[in-house]
A and B are shown apart, each in its own frame.
Chain A
Amino acid sequence: MADPMLPEPYRIARVRRETHDTFTLELLPINSARAMSFAPGQFNMLYVFGTGESAISISGATTDERLVHTIRAVGTVTRALQRLKRGDVIGVRGPFGTSWPMQEAIGRDVVIVTGGIGLAPLRPVIYQVLAQRAQYGKFVLLYGARTPRDLLYARELEKWRGQFDCGVEITLDTADNDWRGNVGFVTALIPSAQFNPTNTVAMICGPEVMMRFTAQELRKRGMRDEQIYLSLERNMKCAVGFCGHCQYGPHFICKDGPVFRYDRIASLLGKQEL
């Protein structure tokens, strides 16, 4: 087996500014013809020369020629990534971790509930559902952002919303005068969302407290814990279960997650300083 700690060099083919603090890198491998294959929900460790690594979910389509990562600049490494330009080279290790339940979702309604940057790890799911639309039942995307300027993938959201077979609802914590849509927590959109709770797979990604309340709302709609999946985040240094940093109770988020079925972690969510 290749050394899982050794990065592969990838060249930045394109930088896309998404919001004031969020950007997308499209990467092409230098030493191979094709970018790595991955499953929706998996992540990579992105390395900036001499600065360090950060764990970032893959946010492109599984069919993309390019490896796509959407990143929010919040720390040393992600800010260094933000300063890079087309043509620059970064190191990539991965893909790591578990993936969204695409197989289980076939033949069922798919409900995605996300908050903030949490939309990025679910975009590969959205692409796959839309590309193979007939395979799935109803498709619902509920997305919450802080303010209008924090809306991620705004043009794509508009496009998806315009499709007759997608139920896309967006809500903001704080709106301005131009906003005509929903205001409030994303959980408030769940009671009226159009899906069949007994035949649905739900995928959640956002802040932990948001995911906890989302799962509770979905259960109120009659969904079982086994139909709900969510993606967790912790400090990661190695991504292969050796460094110990990402432990969450008995789980290593890097290899047992980041995507977990809700029933497997429900008793841990909300525990203080776990």
Chain B
Amino acid sequence: MSVPTDQPAIIERQHFQRLIDALIRKGYRVIGPVVRDGAIVYDELAALDDLPQGWTDEQDGGVYRLKRRADDALFGYAVGPHSWKKFLHPPHLRLWQARRNADGAEFTAETEPPPRFAFIGVRSCELHAIAIQDKVFLQGSYVDPTYQARREQAFIVAVNCGQAGGTCFCVSMNTGPQATFGFDLALTEVIEGDRHYFVAEAGTDRGAELLRELSARQAGDEERRQAAQTVARTAQQMGRTMDTHDIKALLYRNHEHPRWDDVANRCLTCANCTMVCPTCFCTTVEDTTNLTGEHAERWRRWDSCFTLDFSYIHGGSVRVSTKARYRQWMTHKLASWIDQFGTSGCVGCGRCITWCPVGIDITEEVRAIRESEAEQ
């Protein structure tokens, strides 16, 4: 993909519907943020009114609350419990079907054409999360065909963050808040006095083409300055920080550490952190048959290293204790992921902190281990 030279353009707030319409016209299923069950989640969008206009989220360890904003921002929140992996790496997926026949059995792969998604409102940390899952599913010795088909077609409209959430730490992880790659279009929402507009930047040819179709005018210097300031302000507001210096060695050499017992006393092994994490990729399989036993199916569904079954081999599970399971998750996320995929598995989105029912904070757990070494 060549990088287009097009200058940033302006999409006025009252014209935002045109962006959604254009994507629908191109045959995309447009997915974006919607308010549902007291949270901002990602689902299909038909119209501008579906967006969480005027809503924001208040987040802390184990705390998530929607609040009204003083303005009508469309993207005035951080991130909710969903991430885009729900669409690229579906939570529940049939892998194949089998039928008994004269030869014994016949296996049939899934043939349904993959959905063409357009994602609106992808945060910078989420672009990084998608890039990380690309490494897992596309850049190893095997390719996941489901992920590949969905990923290749997806049209990505990133939205730079206008404010940080209480559990955000993308600045620590070098993953935000400014979208720098992996998007077709990147928007920055600006509300200044009675003006409400988006500064749009194309990241690909098809993004630039879409901007031309919207007849968006070129952004002025002041508008660009406002957009840059918005993102810079967000970077100053991070709710959390994590010192990632030498973090792989730190966690590897602290496989035995009293802090793991401490966190095990709080952790419920509920697996919430792994479900909301935008990079956690683990799955299990379920084999089913119909009542006659003639037809069988294999389904894949998200799994979590927090379950006891996860590490089961004959005779018992390898990771029996809560301590071992939490340690596996955090050590994988922040240390062994680097060995496996050349990148951290954490993008600093803060979801695991917010959605932990007891408010366990990965940044605090790292800090506790690091500081215990400093004391020695």
Q: Which residues in A have some Cβ–Cβ distance to B below 8 Å?
A: 1, 3-9, 11, 30, 47, 49-53, 72, 74-75, 78, 88-91, 233-235, 237-238, 240-245, 247, 249-250, 252, 255, 271-274
- B314 & A250 in contact (Cβ 8 Å cutoff): no
Q: List 11 A-B contacts (CB under 8 A).
A: A5-B95, A49-B293, A49-B296, A50-B288, A50-B289, A234-B311, A241-B136, A243-B282, A243-B303, A245-B303, A273-B323
Given contacts A6-B109, A50-B288, A234-B313, contact A1 B143 (CB under 8 A): yes
B-side contacts of A47, CB under 8 Å: 287
Number of A-B contacts (CB under 8 A): 124
Given contacts A241-B140, A245-B311, contact A9 B283 (CB under 8 A): no
The reply on B343 being an interface residue by CB < 8 A is: no
Interface residues of B in 319-336 (CB under 8 A from A): 319-321, 323-324, 327-328, 332, 335-336
| Cβ of A201 to closest chain B Cβ, rounded Å | 25
A-side contacts of B312, CB under 8 Å: 235
Q: How far is the CA of A250 from the CA of B341 in the complex (A)?
A: 10
Q: How far is the CA of A72 from the CA of B315 in the complex (A)?
A: 12
- A271 & B328 in contact (Cβ 8 Å cutoff): no
Q: Which residues in B have some Cβ–Cβ distance to A below 8 Å?
A: 95-96, 98, 100, 103-107, 109, 136-137, 140-145, 255, 281-285, 287-289, 293, 296, 298, 300, 303, 305, 310-315, 318-321, 323-324, 327-328, 332, 335-336, 339-340
Q: How far is the CA of A264 from the CA of B109 in the complex (A)?
A: 37
* Interface residues of B, dominant DSSP: mixed
| Cβ of B207 to closest chain A Cβ, rounded Å | 30
- B293 & A50 in contact (Cβ 8 Å cutoff): yes
Nearest 4 A/B pairs, CB to CB: A89-B104, A244-B282, A273-B324, A50-B289
Q: How far is the CA of A272 from the CA of B287 in the complex (A)?
A: 31
B-side contacts of A88, CB under 8 Å: 104
Given contacts A3-B109, A75-B314, contact A244 B283 (CB under 8 A): yes
What is the chain A residue whose CB lies nearest that of B323? A273
| Cβ of A23 to closest chain B Cβ, rounded Å | 15
